[in-house]
A and B are shown apart, each in its own frame.
Chain A
Amino acid sequence: MTGGVASPAGRGRHRRVPEHHRRALLTHVLVLAAAFALFGVDRTLGWAATVLNVVFLLFFFRHLAFAVSAARWAERDLDAPVVGIETYTPSIAVLVACKDEELVVDGMVAAMLDLSYPPSALTVVVVDDASTDGTGAKLDAWHAANPRLRVLHRPPGAGGGKSGALNDALALVEAEIAVIFDADHQPEPSVLRRLVRHFRDPRVGAVMGRCVVRNGVESNLASTIFIDYLSGYLVNEYGRQALFELPAYGGANCAVRTDLIRALGGWNPHTVTEDTDLTLRLLLDGYRVRYDSTAVDFEEAVLSNSRFWRQRYRWARGHQKCLRDYWRPVVVSPHLSLMEKLETVLFLWVYHVPVLCGLGLILIALRAFGIGGASLLQMISLSALLFAGPFTELAVGLVLGRVSRKAVWMLVGFIPAFGMSILTATKAYLDGMWGTTYSWSKTARSGATSAPVQAPVMEAA
């Protein structure tokens, strides 16, 4: 049980991308300056505002469509009977990467050992990614008490972050399906059976489950994130599947065919959002991602604004990089229809939209001071995108989640959150274009709502 397994990363066809896009950034500035010179500042800003408004309306109607589809069908999906989950049991390897997770690792391992699946078809591998706290010792104690839990210790400097750890774990297993969880996750026992049932369809390359925040009671921010997840999974992800069959693989509580992930060269260690990256690679290879809103696991939300900022910055940075890496292959892909290409590009654009919202607000402010021509659509589209769209999604999430009425006032907390998303996405965009160095940033845990499971104590040798 020692680490040091060579990472398969790099053997596959991860796209090599330039480390910065300063030339493109400069081009944007030059085009704007040229437009000012040719058409004048007011006309240019007026047209820019009009273009922005069209983009905003497009995204608003996209959000609205997801909300309508979820409101119409998602509730019945949650109640629907599952079919054949007792009889279809391909071999599964559950992979969990842990780095300094001693606060949550006991609850996670206990949940893994409680998963309902034939033991002969299930392998659980937990990777201790050079933890400096008691994570490794705790995992060893669990292994001693439950030999079916396998523990892989990676040495310091093994590299690759979460992707590297998962790739090392993947090299150890021979299962047909790999199911990934994060260290703070505690899945419901039925989650494996619910996830793998979709692999009956050979076109399905990966399946995403639903993550639910379990520590909303710890802070108002966590409670707000709980509602955000409800909307994100029960409405947004659901809508993408219902209307386009294009849900995203999310990185945790998700399953992927091991032969596919091996053929693709493993998880991409050069991105901080390996999940979105894998989604795109699967789609471009002609496979489908499915989403199962009934395959549920519980996870921790961050508790402080600074951690929230870091997490969302990472998501924005990685997602924006995926747009830069994949928009061209998506446009020319033979495996996607025109409508699917449009939706995939819009999905990739999601973390650029807050940047555009920031630009829209600047244009409105300039207009208030008499700078810039009037837009054809004025600020109604920005309001719709910033507030009506998200609030509609949140409302449907709250109703589908049957959350008590008191939660409605938590929605007010989303207004500053929208503001923060503009700032995080803008900073991520500028850093990404400028090529600022960035690597995986681990999310800190609280551990307060981990199940009170006592880890087995390892006897001294």
Chain B
Amino acid sequence: MTLVARRLDHALHDRAARRLVAGGTARRRHLVLIEIALAVLGCVGGYLLWIDGARHLEVRICEQIILALGVDRISAALGDSFLVFGPGFEPVVAQMTGSCSILSSVLALAALAVIVLRERSQVIAGFAVAAVFVLAANQVRLLLSLLAGRYFAVDALVFFHDWIGAVINFAYTLIGLLIMIGMTMYDAQRAEQDHTGRHTADRPEAWARPGLGHRVPLDSDDAPKAPKVQVAAFLHRKVLPRALSARLARRRERTRVDYRVGHENAARRAAIVRDLAGKGLGVHTATLLAVATHETDTGVLDALADVVAARQWEPIASADVIALRLWARAWLMRAPAATGPAPTGPAPTGRLIAVTGAGGPAGVAVIQALRKAGDEVLALDANPDGAGLRLAAHAAVLPRADQPGYADSLLAVLAEHRPSALVCTVAEEYRALTPLTARLDEMGVRTWLPDPAAAETCLDKVAFATALHAAGVPHPATAWTAGTAGLVPGPWVVKPARGRGSRDVVLVDEPADLPHAFFTVPGAIVQTRLDGREFTADALVARDGRMLACVPRWRDETRGGISVRGTTFASPAVTEVVAATLRAVGHSGPANVQGFVGPAGEVTIVEVNPRFSGGLPLTLAAGADVVGTYVAGILDPAADLPPLEFRPGLRMARYFSEIFYTSADELVGAAR
């Protein structure tokens, strides 16, 4: 053993034996005891030092109030006492004792503020307001006692001061304490839970401090709202010099965790981490430390460690940067993970896109298109056996949009997964989704929903017929009353005014059968049955009304209203009428327009579904990426979306495909 090692051993043994250095717990205890002792000393010393001054000051203030009120026979000429002449002019000297003064209350509040609440600077304002309140309340107590002596009797003064006054004294001290506590607490915007314990701060679950609020969907009334007057924002915008404001903002950014990062998916988090660290480790230090603290995705942690390692030239701005470097060192020194073959498939975009109606053909088509593009998908449907739920990385079952609980369930699922965008493939959901757009925006879930009136016009065949006739767009003669049904030329098609998927559609050839069909079909309308070749056009309309895509296809064969065999074709006439139709209803976003091309080439529109179609795969295969373009438009509402071309003459023959899963919802076989 070397001399140095022997000395070290000796020192360690000596310290352990003699307990020269207290353990951590004892040190904490000593620290707290010293603080409390100093607080007690401060209270006692402050009381002894200032009690005379406080008594004189309070007597002087009370005297001014009495003079202002014009009350006679009460004098404060003695300095620390009042001379009161009662109703019979009997004199009494009411001495302002130490216990009558607010000094002990104020000192106690100050001590609590300093030793308990000093971590929050707001306690300074809280203490100041509480002290002023206590002073005012004690003046009321003194005044009422003196008035009792002046107008009732000297005994009344004593009784009021000693008993009622004592209660008032207790009450105002307690209220003062509550004022100080309240002003030290967080306002609703910065708090993480409300007074009932519900989480209100929208923190990502993995990053939140554990247990700060029970996570349940909040009603819009319960969600924290921005205060009407934002003092800090006003100061920064109107009062502080720009340079100072910017400097303060930089300092705030260093210590502020940007919790929005935690809501993003892993690939996006990694990209954000690189961006944030790229500005310098001392700029968004708190957010980077939060990533190092809470992140569990190795890809994100690798990204952070790499960027920290790459910026070792930076001067150390704070101890937190040292902590980051220590973490990165340990992370990069860990055992290397086994390397395997590079994953195949599209490069991940890092985006998570939610798709409603995942059980329907349109939903499945959208999910597959998004996956092919490298997006992760959150599939949503009311049917727990919806196939699309098994095709996506994440899935959730929701109530139907017309059932209670839909909104709450949807918000809860979206709050949990935080997708970047929501694609709705069920037109009937628009009505339920439109009121939620503000909440979705707050969560960072972007949407692009059509104008509710336009969607309603599309879904209501009576309104649709009215709109198209008004706009001069060719549309079959339509009647929706029993009185006018007979005026429509035959043969006829009778169908519900609101319906989908060819449900309850009745074809009528004989006039005698028309009344029966009209009264049998719920909410029926009657239209002339068109002659010619049926087509569907998948369309995408930009927010400004430009038609970005129109991909017509012949409906060579349909089953249950879904096109199973079709062929794309190019037709300027069809494109023109489709555009006119969508203009007439005022729609934007995806739509599929159905109609007929008559024997003479005339184009007539039958209906518009304001959503993607079940035959969407043919449109995508023809080269018109309406899904990707629509998602780009959702994520960037200001984006200048390009017009989409397509390949005419492409044929589609659909076949069944299947997936297998257990009752525990585990995928089996090839679908895994």
Say yes or no: A391 contacts B197, CB within 8 Å.
Answer: no
Q: Does A264 contact B (CB under 8 A)?
A: no
Q: How far is the CA of A65 from the CA of B120 in the complex (A)?
A: 18
Say yes or no: A449 contacts B191, CB within 8 Å.
Answer: no
Say yes or no: B195 contacts A395, CB within 8 Å.
Answer: no
Q: Does B635 contact A (CB under 8 A)?
A: no
**B647 CB to nearest A CB, Å:** 48
Q: Does A407 contact B (CB under 8 A)?
A: yes
**Given the known A-B contacts A79-B293, A296-B210, A449-B216, are A410 and B32 also in contact in the complex, defined by CB atoms under 8 Å?**
no
Residues facing B in A43-91 (CB within 8 A) are 61, 64-65, 67-69, 71-73, 75, 78-81
Q: Does A402 contact B (CB under 8 A)?
A: yes
Say yes or no: A65 contacts B211, CB within 8 Å.
Answer: no
The interface size of chain A toward B, counting residues with CB under 8 Å, comes to 60
Say yes or no: A71 contacts B119, CB within 8 Å.
Answer: yes
On chain B, the residues within 8 Å of A243 by CB distance are 25, 28-29, 32
**B670 CB to nearest A CB, Å:** 25
Which of these binds chain A: B110-118, B139-147, B512-520?
B110-118
Q: Does B185 contact A (CB under 8 A)?
A: yes
Say yes or no: A409 contacts B178, CB within 8 Å.
Answer: yes
**Given the known A-B contacts A391-B177, A403-B193, A405-B187, are A396 and B200 also in contact in the complex, defined by CB atoms under 8 Å?**
no
- B194, closest chain A residue (CB): A404
Residue interface mask A138-166, B partner, CB < 8 A = 1: 00000000000000000000000000000
Partner of B200, one of A78, A223, A296, A404: A404
Say yes or no: B188 contacts A405, CB within 8 Å.
Answer: yes
Q: List 25 A-B contacts (CB under 8 A).
A: A64-B115, A65-B32, A79-B209, A81-B292, A190-B210, A216-B198, A223-B197, A226-B195, A244-B29, A294-B209, A296-B210, A296-B211, A388-B177, A398-B181, A399-B186, A402-B192, A403-B195, A404-B200, A404-B224, A405-B182, A405-B183, A405-B191, A408-B181, A409-B182, A411-B178
Q: Does A401 contact B (CB under 8 A)?
A: yes
Q: How far is the CA of A264 from the CA of B337 in the complex (A)?
A: 44
Q: Does A351 contact B (CB under 8 A)?
A: no
- A82, closest chain B residue (CB): B293
On chain A, the residues within 8 Å of B119 by CB distance are 71-72, 75, 399
Residue interface mask B67-83, A partner, CB < 8 A = 1: 00000000000000000
Which one of B178, B187, B196, B216 has the greatest number of beta carbons of chain A within 10 Å?
Answer: B196
- B118, closest chain A residue (CB): A71
Residues facing A in B158-202 (CB within 8 A) are 170, 174, 177-178, 181-188, 190-198, 200-201
On chain B, the residues within 8 Å of A69 by CB distance are 28, 32
Say yes or no: A408 contacts B197, CB within 8 Å.
Answer: no
Q: Does B35 contact A (CB under 8 A)?
A: yes
On chain B, the residues within 8 Å of A315 by CB distance are none
Say yes or no: B210 contacts A407, CB within 8 Å.
Answer: no
**Given the known A-B contacts A214-B197, A402-B192, are A78 and B210 also in contact in the complex, defined by CB atoms under 8 Å?**
yes
Residues facing A in B5-29 (CB within 8 A) are 25, 28-29
Q: How far is the CA of A394 from the CA of B187 in the complex (A)?
A: 17
Q: How far is the CA of A362 from the CA of B344 in the complex (A)?
A: 81
Q: Does A446 contact B (CB under 8 A)?
A: no
Residues facing A in B422-447 (CB within 8 A) are none
Q: Does A188 contact B (CB under 8 A)?
A: yes
Say yes or no: B184 contacts A188, CB within 8 Å.
Answer: no
**Given the known A-B contacts A71-B119, A214-B214, A243-B25, are A406 and B193 also in contact in the complex, defined by CB atoms under 8 Å?**
no
Q: How far is the CA of A84 from the CA of B191 in the complex (A)?
A: 30
Q: Does A212 contact B (CB under 8 A)?
A: yes
Q: Does A210 contact B (CB under 8 A)?
A: yes
Q: How far is the CA of A392 from the CA of B114 in the complex (A)?
A: 12
Say yes or no: A223 contacts B196, CB within 8 Å.
Answer: yes
Q: How far is the CA of A69 from the CA of B26 in the complex (A)?
A: 12
Q: Does B108 contact A (CB under 8 A)?
A: yes
Say yes or no: A403 contacts B186, CB within 8 Å.
Answer: yes
Say yes or no: B28 contacts A399, CB within 8 Å.
Answer: no
Q: Does A295 contact B (CB under 8 A)?
A: yes
On chain A, the residues within 8 Å of B28 by CB distance are 69, 73, 242-243
Q: Does B641 contact A (CB under 8 A)?
A: no
Partner of B186, one of A65, A214, A404, A410: A404
**Given the known A-B contacts A65-B36, A210-B211, A223-B197, are A405 and B185 also in contact in the complex, defined by CB atoms under 8 Å?**
yes
Residues facing B in A395-447 (CB within 8 A) are 395-396, 398-399, 401-412
On chain B, the residues within 8 Å of A293 by CB distance are 210-211
Q: How far is the CA of A399 from the CA of B209 in the complex (A)?
A: 13
Q: Does B393 contact A (CB under 8 A)?
A: no
Say yes or no: A226 contacts B196, CB within 8 Å.
Answer: yes
Say yes or no: A399 contacts B198, CB within 8 Å.
Answer: no
Say yes or no: A64 contacts B36, CB within 8 Å.
Answer: yes
A79-B209, A190-B210, A401-B193 provided; 4 other pairs, C-beta below 8 A? Answer: A65-B32, A68-B35, A79-B293, A298-B214
Residue interface mask A217-235, B partner, CB < 8 A = 1: 1000011001100000000
Q: Does A333 contact B (CB under 8 A)?
A: no
On chain B, the residues within 8 Å of A409 by CB distance are 178, 182
Say yes or no: B185 contacts A399, CB within 8 Å.
Answer: yes
Q: How far is the CA of A449 from the CA of B214 in the complex (A)?
A: 10
Q: Does B577 contact A (CB under 8 A)?
A: no
- A451, closest chain B residue (CB): B216
**Given the known A-B contacts A212-B197, A399-B120, are A388 and B191 also in contact in the complex, defined by CB atoms under 8 Å?**
no
**Given the known A-B contacts A61-B36, A188-B211, are A242 and B25 also in contact in the complex, defined by CB atoms under 8 Å?**
yes
Residue interface mask B292-333, A partner, CB < 8 A = 1: 111000000000000000000000000000000000000000
Q: Does A383 contact B (CB under 8 A)?
A: yes
Q: Does A213 contact B (CB under 8 A)?
A: yes
Q: Does B128 contact A (CB under 8 A)?
A: no
Closest 5 pairs between A and B when the two form their complex, measured CB to CB: A296-B211, A216-B196, A407-B195, A404-B191, A408-B182
Residues facing B in A291-348 (CB within 8 A) are 293-296, 298, 339
Say yes or no: B196 contacts A68, CB within 8 Å.
Answer: no
Q: Does A245 contact B (CB under 8 A)?
A: yes
Partner of B188, one of A383, A398, A404: A404
Q: How far is the CA of A212 from the CA of B208 in the complex (A)?
A: 15
Say yes or no: B32 contacts A213, CB within 8 Å.
Answer: no
- A393, closest chain B residue (CB): B116
Q: Does B212 contact A (CB under 8 A)?
A: yes
Residues facing A in B103-142 (CB within 8 A) are 108, 112, 115-120
Q: How far is the CA of A210 from the CA of B28 in the complex (A)?
A: 22
Partner of B210, one of A226, A245, A295, A403: A295
Say yes or no: A395 contacts B116, CB within 8 Å.
Answer: yes
Q: How far is the CA of A401 from the CA of B117 in the complex (A)?
A: 14
**B518 CB to nearest A CB, Å:** 43
Q: Does B33 contact A (CB under 8 A)?
A: yes
Q: Does A349 contact B (CB under 8 A)?
A: no
**B295 CB to nearest A CB, Å:** 10
On chain B, the residues within 8 Å of A65 by CB distance are 29, 32-33, 36
Q: How far is the CA of A407 from the CA of B198 in the complex (A)?
A: 12
- A340, closest chain B residue (CB): B25
Q: How far is the CA of A399 from the CA of B182 in the complex (A)?
A: 9
**B544 CB to nearest A CB, Å:** 42
Q: How far is the CA of A232 from the CA of B214 in the complex (A)?
A: 18
- A70, closest chain B residue (CB): B116
Q: How far is the CA of A398 from the CA of B118 in the complex (A)?
A: 14
On chain A, the residues within 8 Å of B201 by CB distance are 402
Q: Does A287 contact B (CB under 8 A)?
A: no
Residues facing B in A251-272 (CB within 8 A) are none
- B40, closest chain A residue (CB): A61
On chain A, the residues within 8 Å of B178 by CB distance are 391, 408-409, 411-412
**A418 CB to nearest B CB, Å:** 12
**Given the known A-B contacts A388-B112, A402-B201, A449-B214, are A244 and B25 also in contact in the complex, defined by CB atoms under 8 Å?**
yes
- A73, closest chain B residue (CB): B28
Residues facing A in B85-102 (CB within 8 A) are none
On chain A, the residues within 8 Å of B192 by CB distance are 401-403
**B405 CB to nearest A CB, Å:** 9
On chain A, the residues within 8 Å of B216 by CB distance are 449
Q: How far is the CA of A243 from the CA of B170 in the complex (A)?
A: 31
Say yes or no: A216 contacts B197, CB within 8 Å.
Answer: yes
